[in-house]
Amino acid sequence: MLKIYNTLTRKKEVFHPRRGNAVRMFVCGPTVYDLAHIGHGRTYVIFDVMARYLRFRALPVKYLMNITDLDDKIIARASLLRRSWKSVAREYERTFLKDLGCLGIRSVDRFARATDFIPEIAAQVTLLLQRGIAYRIEGDGIYFDLKKFPRYGLLAHRTATAAEDATSRIDDSVRKRNRGDFCLWKFSRRGEPMWKSTIGPGRPGWHIEDTAITHKIFGPQYDLHGGALDLIFPHHEAEIAQMEAAYRRKPMARFWMHAGFLNVRGGKMGKSKGNFITIRELLDKWPAEAFRVFVLSAHYRSPVDYDANLMAQASSSWERIVDFSDRIGVSRARAGITASQLKNASPALRTAHRAFFRAMDDDLDTPKALAAVFGLIRKLNPSVERTRSSADEHHAVAAFLYDVNTILGILPSKGPKPAIPKEILALAAQRDRLRRARRFTEADALRGLIQKRGWRIEDAARGSRLKREGNNTPRIPSGSPKGRLAKPRPPR
Ligand SMILES: [Zn+2]
């Protein structure tokens, strides 16, 4: 039974979808004005594992993510670069989707751009105006009146009167009724992009895009809303206020999951602080799957401090899993472990299997789940190449690791293996001959030569194997993740 910590109730609760058994899951996407950093990487890996796990447990998932393709930051960036907001937004949308693909994130079913939902946004704002919850400030914008929604602050455990102004420039106005009132629609200003709409020419506020998108695709209520911890207030509170006030149904989302921060050298990442690491930079140095192991080695709700040493540790843990999986033949496994395989398995495998799923069911405790896998590897490693473990046991272990990989996505994705150059193969063969002739000094010299060319030889019981030296396991970028973008509609 899967239990998830629900930010709304501050409790672990049994997770099950509301209607039938399809889980409607929405996670806040990026504002596309710059390259995504490893903090984004952490958040999206976590929700990828959540979606994978639900699907593994036979729950169909409809995973929706918005893309904020118009806001103050994009406008500022575009004017700095003397480009249109649209070309900036589309460029960073492409890099974002590519980064997700490189991180093995293909679980999102649909990406929805804010600017493709302008009519829906206008309709929602109109409804809030009709209900007397939103008000108009001429020459400025349309705002949400926090006094009309007493439940504001329930998710963050704050009250409306303690609310600070939202951080965005779009929410600033001296003529607002209450300090925390946030902007739903900003009337057009000179030099800014604008859309004609039934509520007047302008552009949407930040919070309203999510509820317009989710209402259109899921309806006023859905199962799971995720995002990073810093979005709880005011962003997620504002979403609840808009949706519940407009459609008079509550709760908007039954489960709220928030991912902890990723800090670099003890602090929040910042361009000016020089501790800003983009996903690109990370993937130049480390395999994506090793980063996933880094992320999953901490509980998703805990803060994590990134540093190169911890990443190196995660990478060597990852190599242990990959190495063991190679030897046990996970790539030949076609499916996960069956009930009868499990029944006849060794106590070590049964223990690891139980511990893995118990941990995953306990609020996605991935550090414990990984520990179960490492425990199994430690136990079986010494004997895996001898006949001591039976062929059945081999297959069962491989099938279990196949399941682990389906859920966590930590084994290198199947694709063309890095081609070993002929020259390297010839050197390795020559070295093998020298070793058989017990000419070890010459054999070692050849090993050195092979290493200089970027390859490492590992001698195993059944002959030697070649591996790419260092951590730069070559990868084929997998391109955009699964999902589709609605056809862009130009501003009218
Ligand atoms: Zn959002």
Q: How much is the pTM? A: 0.84
414 versus 274: which is more confidently predicted?
274
Give the rounded percent of residues in the chain with a pLDDT score beyond 90. Answer: 67
**pLDDT(222) > 90:** yes
Residue 169's pLDDT is 59
21 versus 436: which is more confidently predicted?
436
**pLDDT(288) > 80:** yes
What mean pLDDT is predicted for residues 108-121? Answer: 97
319-408 CATH fold: Four Helix Bundle (Hemerythrin (Met), subunit A) (1.20.120)
Residue 21's pLDDT is 74
What mean pLDDT is predicted for residues 281-293? Answer: 94
**pLDDT(489) > 50:** no
Centroid of ligand 1 to alpha carbon of 364 (angstroms): 22
Centroid of ligand 1 to alpha carbon of 149 (angstroms): 20
C-alpha span between 38 and 442 (Å, rounded): 45
C-alpha span between 83 and 77 (Å, rounded): 8
Centroid of ligand 1 to alpha carbon of 28 (angstroms): 4
Angle CA 229–233–235, to nearest 5 = 95
CA distances from 437 to 62, 430, 433, 443 (A): 61, 11, 6, 10
The answer to whether 250 is annotated as binding is no
What mean pLDDT is predicted for residues 115-139? Answer: 97
- CATH for 9-267 is 3.40.50.620
Centroid of ligand 1 to alpha carbon of 31 (angstroms): 9
Centroid of ligand 1 to alpha carbon of 65 (angstroms): 9
> What does the pLDDT look like over 291-329, one tens digit per residue?
999 999 999 999 999 999 999 999 999 999 999 999 898
Average pLDDT over all residues of the chain: 88
Residue 168's pLDDT is 55
What mean pLDDT is predicted for residues 342-369? Answer: 97
Confidence of residue 166 (pLDDT cuts 50, 70, 90): very low
